[in-house]
Chain A
Amino acid sequence: MPDASLIAIVDDDVSMRQSLPDLVERFGFAVRVFASAEEFLASDCVGQTKCLILDVALPGMSGPDLQRELSRRGQKIPIVFITGQANEDLRRQLLEEGAVECLFKPFKPTALLKALNTALGVD
């Protein structure tokens, strides 16, 4: 069995940081968790991350800010946005800028798995 793909989760909400990793591990992935975009950028796993689960509203650098920063750095990490604000315009905009998916919280675990599989090119 090959090494599990690394999924990074960036969310400032403690409920999400505690609950999501267990679920994503159950899906069979390896997981790292960060409370801010800055923390993720400063970590050693930017280059190894196969998919980023990224909250939109973050203190300091926002989710879309991080998306632009990664693209500026030439890091092509697929991004699945998650947000507590059900804003269709925002969703459309994020998808246009290259996000794989934008899920509105609360989302179904199956929807997240589907998005992760799309991001990793698995059917």
Chain B
Amino acid sequence: MSQSTCSEPNQTVPVGCGSNPDSLSWPFGGSCHDTEFLHKVLAALKRHEAFLEEIERASSTGGFIWRAATGQMTCTGEVYRIFELDVTVPVTLQLLGTRVHPDDVSLIHDMIQRAQALANEFEYELRLRLSSQIVKYLLLSARRSEDVGDEAQYIGTIQDVTQRRVSEEALGNMRSDLARVARVSSLGILTASIAHEVNQPLSGIMTNASTCLEMLAADPPDIDGARETARRTIRDGERACEVIARLRALFGKRAGRTESVDLNAATRDVIALALSELQRRHVMLRTEFAEELPVVTGDRVQLQQVILNLLMNAAEAMSGVEDRQRLLLICTEPHSGGDWVRLRVQDAGVGFAPTDATRLFEPFYTTKSGGMGIGLSVSRSIIESHRGRLWAEPNAGPGATFVFAMPARETVGTRGPAKRAAIGPQDNALPSMRTA
């Protein structure tokens, strides 16, 4: 991989603008008679060159000059290394193009077209496919410099971002693995609740059908009554189907997708599944849903996982509470003039120590004996992958509040952190810390 030839003497050294003879001409004019001084200057230049090369290597970033009309290029050593080219070969864009991944060749054509249209700057992410079946991810950016005659000339950089991309992919895979584990473990927690939800309508079906038969067997048969109980049987059957459909939507295997999500409706579905589990734990649930809540964009099921996780955490935090009501409040609200949407889950549980406010979200941090401690860290990574934020606040009274904020759909696609500052925990007047 390493291009040791670059630093060996007496070779074409493609560092700086080294391959362009003009650029090495004596810059002070006239001739220099002081050879000692000349040696000093050359030594300084070499040191400077070596320094630049170190920087290039360390940052995996090479530089180039591109004359758009001819395709002729002058490149630094790192570009040769990235493209795995022999340093003695004259570089053209056409030559570099032969190394580009077939799916990304169109980007090179696009770049040529933009140069013909005299674009001032451009940036591309493209992949290389090298002979060794190695794929590299590059970030290429350039801007137009002084034109040479009629020719547009661009100066730019090419950065090898393969490591970063590979890590991002690994991180993404790990996140979905963890999310799956979290889903399965919440399925375990909810099993009793789900059985309860299905058993209710089943019970109705059996009771109604029996009553219906009794009514038909009576003398004279109660036809109207039988009709009514048959109707109820159907309705209960539909209700059981709805529970199953909800379960399938929440726990079935599926690929991630992006859609418009109404957080109010998504939260109601989660509550419907968790309600009897909350009841079993003597949790009083109160909801305050904002009317006309802006929709958000994202993966509905992932967001429901986060909501479910926050609900279960809140219930868990209150499991030992006996001296006060186990009140759980869920509310949704528009924020920052409707550019953001917030969801808050407030409990009256044990709360957390101020020092734990950030540790709560670390993977495998748990206060539960049977907990895996992945819920909150996965929840946070899900919210962050939706360009949102998730944080915890202590309550003025007992307990804690977990909040996530997400951009409303209308603002998705606008760039920059302009409105970010307004959504963090810092704009909440933090009440005095109290934990049990």
Q: What would be 26 A-B contacts, judged by CB atoms less than 8 Å apart?
A: A13-B204, A15-B201, A15-B204, A15-B235, A15-B239, A16-B200, A16-B203, A16-B207, A18-B232, A19-B203, A22-B208, A22-B211, A22-B229, A26-B211, A57-B276, A57-B279, A60-B284, A62-B282, A84-B195, A84-B200, A84-B276, A85-B199, A105-B199, A105-B202, A107-B206, A108-B206
Which residue from chain B places its CB closest to the CB of A27 in the assembled complex? B214
What 4 pairs between A and B have smallest CB-CB spacing?
A15-B204, A84-B196, A105-B203, A106-B203
Least CB distance, B215 to chain A, in whole angstroms: 7
CA distance A19 to B203 in the complex (A): 9
Contacts of B279 in A (CB 8 A): 57-59
Least CB distance, B191 to chain A, in whole angstroms: 10
Contacts of A107 in B (CB 8 A): 203, 206
CA distance A22 to B282 in the complex (A): 31
Q: Which of B295-324 contact A (CB under 8 A)?
A: none
Contacts of A109 in B (CB 8 A): 206-207, 210-211
Q: State whether the Cβ of B225 lies closer than 8 Å to any Cβ in chain A.
A: yes
CA distance A104 to B282 in the complex (A): 20
Q: Which of B199, B207, B276, B284 has the most CB of A within 10 A?
A: B207
CA distance A62 to B279 in the complex (A): 9
Contacts of B78 in A (CB 8 A): none
Least CB distance, B86 to chain A, in whole angstroms: 74
Q: Which of A1-46 contact B (CB under 8 A)?
A: 13, 15-16, 18-20, 22-23, 26
Least CB distance, A68 to chain B, in whole angstroms: 14
Q: Which of B248-285 contact A (CB under 8 A)?
A: 276, 279-280, 282, 284
| Contact A19 B280, beta carbon cutoff 8 Å | no
Contacts of B203 in A (CB 8 A): 15-16, 19, 82, 84, 105-107
Interface residues of B (CB under 8 A from A): 192, 195-197, 199-208, 210-211, 214-215, 225, 229, 232, 235-236, 239, 276, 279-280, 282, 284
Q: State whether the Cβ of A86 lies closer than 8 Å to any Cβ in chain B.
A: yes
| Contact B280 A26, beta carbon cutoff 8 Å | no
- Using A22-B229, A26-B215, A59-B279 as known contacts, list a sample of 20 further A-B pairs with CB atoms less than 8 Å apart, ordered by residue number in A: A15-B200, A15-B203, A15-B232, A15-B235, A16-B203, A16-B204, A16-B207, A19-B211, A19-B232, A22-B215, A23-B214, A26-B214, A59-B284, A62-B282, A84-B195, A85-B192, A87-B192, A105-B200, A105-B203, A108-B206
Question: Taking A106-B203, A107-B206 as contacts, is the C-beta distance between A86 and B195 under 8 angstroms?
Answer: yes
Least CB distance, A91 to chain B, in whole angstroms: 14
Q: CB within 8 A of B208: which of A19, A57, A86? A: A19
Contacts of B236 in A (CB 8 A): 15, 19
Least CB distance, B226 to chain A, in whole angstroms: 10
Question: Taking A62-B282, A84-B199, A85-B280 as contacts, is the C-beta distance between A19 and B204 under 8 angstroms?
Answer: yes
CA distance A70 to B123 in the complex (A): 77
Contacts of B232 in A (CB 8 A): 15, 18-19
Q: Which of A16, A26, A62 has the most CB of B within 10 A?
A: A26
| Contact A18 B204, beta carbon cutoff 8 Å | yes
CA distance A79 to B114 in the complex (A): 83
Which residue from chain B places its CB closest to the CB of A87 in the assembled complex? B192
| Contact A57 B211, beta carbon cutoff 8 Å | no
CA distance A117 to B200 in the complex (A): 24
CA distance A82 to B196 in the complex (A): 11
Contacts of A58 in B (CB 8 A): 279
Contacts of A18 in B (CB 8 A): 204, 232
Which residue from chain A places its CB closest to the CB of B208 in the assembled complex? A19
Question: Taking A62-B282, A84-B203, A106-B202 as contacts, is the C-beta distance between A23 and B196 under 8 angstroms?
Answer: no
Least CB distance, B77 to chain A, in whole angstroms: 71
| Contact B204 A57, beta carbon cutoff 8 Å | no
Which residue from chain B places its CB closest to the CB of A82 in the assembled complex? B203
Least CB distance, A113 to chain B, in whole angstroms: 10
CA distance A18 to B235 in the complex (A): 11
CA distance A22 to B204 in the complex (A): 11
CA distance A26 to B211 in the complex (A): 7
Least CB distance, A111 to chain B, in whole angstroms: 10
Which residue from chain B places its CB closest to the CB of A90 in the assembled complex? B280
Which residue from chain A places its CB closest to the CB of B280 in the assembled complex? A57
Least CB distance, B210 to chain A, in whole angstroms: 4
Q: Which of A58-110 contact B (CB under 8 A)?
A: 58-60, 62, 82, 84-87, 104-109
Least CB distance, A66 to chain B, in whole angstroms: 14
CA distance A58 to B200 in the complex (A): 13
Which residue from chain A places its CB closest to the CB of B282 in the assembled complex? A62
| Contact B214 A20, beta carbon cutoff 8 Å | no
